[in-house]
Amino acid sequence: MMPYIGGRRVRDVLKLMGVVGVVLCFTLSLIWGLKPRKAPRPRPNLSLPLRILPLGDAITWGWQPANLENGTNGYRAPLLHELVYAHYRSVNLVGTQHSGLMPNNDNEGHPGFTLSQIMGAMKAGLEMRPNVVLLHAGTTDLSRPETAEERWRDAPKRLGSLLDHVLETCPDAVILVAKIIQAQKTQTRANVNIFNNAIPRLVEERVEKGFKLVVVDQSVVGPEELVDGLHPSYAGYFHMGNIWFQAVKDVSAKALITPPVAVQP
Ligand SMILES: *[C@@H]1O[C@H](CO)[C@@H](O)[C@H](O)[C@H]1NC(C)=O
Ligand SMILES: *[C@@H]1O[C@H](CO)[C@@H](O)[C@H](O)[C@H]1NC(C)=O
Crossing angle (nearest 10°) for helices 234-253 and 76-85: 40
pLDDT for the residue numbered 36:
56
The pTM (predicted TM-score) of the whole model is 0.85
Residue nearest to atom 14 of ligand 1 (CA): 45
What whole-number percentage of the chain has pLDDT above 90?
A: 83
Q: How confident is the model at residue 6 (pLDDT cuts 50, 70, 90)?
A: low
CB of 69 within 6 A of ligand 2: the answer is yes
Closest ligand (CA of 69): 2
Contact between 93 and 106 (Cβ < 8 Å): yes
pLDDT for the residue numbered 1:
47
CB of 208 within 6 A of ligand 2: the answer is no
The domain limits of the chain are 1-37, 50-253
Distance, in Å, from the CA atom of 104 to the CA atom of 76, rounded to the nearest integer, reads 9
Which of 63, 64, 70 maximizes ligand 2 atoms within 8 Å of its Cβ, making it the mutation to test the pocket? 70
pLDDT for the residue numbered 264:
75
pLDDT for the residue numbered 3:
47
Is residue 97 pLDDT above 60, yes or no? Answer: yes
Mean pLDDT for the chain? 91
Is residue 265 pLDDT above 90, yes or no? Answer: no
- The CATH class of the 50-253 domain is alpha beta
Cβ atoms within 10 Å of 43's Cβ, excluding its own? 9
pLDDT for the residue numbered 59:
98
CB of 101 within 6 A of ligand 2: the answer is no
Residue nearest to atom 13 of ligand 2 (CA): 69
